[in-house]
Structure formats: C-alpha cells, structure tokens
Amino acid sequence: MKLAKTVMSLTLGLALSASVYADGAAKFAQGGCTACHQPAVDTAGPSLKAISAAYKGNEAALISFLAGKGAPKLATGRFAGQFETLMKPQVANGSAKWTAAERIDVAKHIMKK
Ligand code: HEC
C-alpha cells in the first residue's frame, strides 16, 4: 500500500512537471509572443534560440527581464532601439502582469530552444 502510494505520487509528479513545460509554451502563445518570436529564426523579434543563447547559464536574469527588471541584452544590431517601441510594451502589459510561476514556465520554455 505504501509502495503503491509512492508510485502514484511519483507518477503524478512526473505528469505535473511535464505539464509545467507545456504551460510555458501555451502561455507564450496565449500572451501573443509567438507573433514576433519564432523558435529558430529571427523575425520581428529575435528567435528563442538567440534569446536562450544570450541568457545561457543565467535563467534568473531572463525571469527578471520578463518581470520588467534589468536591461535588454538583445537590443543591438537589427534590433537596436526596438526594446522601447516593440518589446517593452509586451513586458509592461504582458509578462510583468503574469504570475511569478508563469514567468518561470515561459523562461524554461525559451531556455529549452
Ligand atoms: C511586436 C513584436 C514583439 C512581441 C509581440 C513580443 N516581442 Fe519580445 N522582442 C521583440 C523585439 C523587437 C525584441 C528585441 C529588442 C529587445 O531585446 O528588447 C524582443 C526581445 C525579447 C526578449 C529578449 C530580451 C533581451 O534581453 O534583449 C525576450 C525574453 C522577449 N522578447 C520575450 C517576449 C515575450 C515573453 C513576449 C510575449 C509576452 C514577447 N517577447 C512579445 C518583439 C516582440
């Protein structure tokens, strides 16, 4: 009985952690982020691959950025000056209003690319 309970809670734990990732992707799409961010190619905004490379080993800074703290790292080159016009409103009206857990899920979704 004790073993059955352990197995059940392990299975539940796995199902939950799998759904956390799925939620990050869903939140990213539902937040309108996919309009400007594709997985591997730069479009209106940098690709998720480029973002995850810029934040490699520093997921905490990405989570802070989504909360509206910290300077953008990718507002250079063809994206120079676009933080203020294109990206900042997405943080102010979007990700900064999400729950902390949602920002973590989305950061994990981005860092997987
Ligand atoms: C209208 C187009 C547009 C939309 C919609 C958009 N972004 Fe962006 N995003 C950009 C542009 C342009 C940049 C590059 C400038 C910059 O780095 O801030 C960027 C950069 C970023 C960065 C890198 C920040 C850095 O350090 O430079 C992250 C993370 C990001 N976006 C997340 C999001 C999320 C999450 C959403 C949805 C809530 C979103 N974006 C919606 C255009 C957009």
The tens digit of pLDDT for each residue in 37-58 reads: 999 999 999 999 999 999 999 9
37 touches ligand 1 (CB under 6 Å): yes
Domains in the chain (CATH in brackets) are: 2-111 (1.10.760.10)
* Cα 40 to Cα 50: distance, rounded to the nearest angstrom: 8
82 touches ligand 1 (CB under 6 Å): yes
Q: pTM of the entire structure?
A: 0.86
Q: Which of 59, 70, 74, 71 is nearest to 104 (CA)?
A: 59
25 touches ligand 1 (CB under 6 Å): no
Residue 12 — very low, low, confident or very high, per pLDDT cuts 50/70/90? low
C-alpha dihedral, 9 to 26 to 89 to 93, nearest 10°: -60
49 touches ligand 1 (CB under 6 Å): no
CA of 87 to the centre of ligand 1 (A): 5
Q: What is the pLDDT of residue 6?
A: 55
Residue 36 — very low, low, confident or very high, per pLDDT cuts 50/70/90? very high
Residue 75 · residue 42 · CB < 8 Å: no
Greatest distance between any 2 Cα atoms in the chain: 61
Q: How many residues does the chain have?
A: 113
CA of 84 to the centre of ligand 1 (A): 10
pLDDT at residue 14 is higher than 60: no
Q: Which of 57, 56, 55, 78 is nearest to 65 (CA)?
A: 55
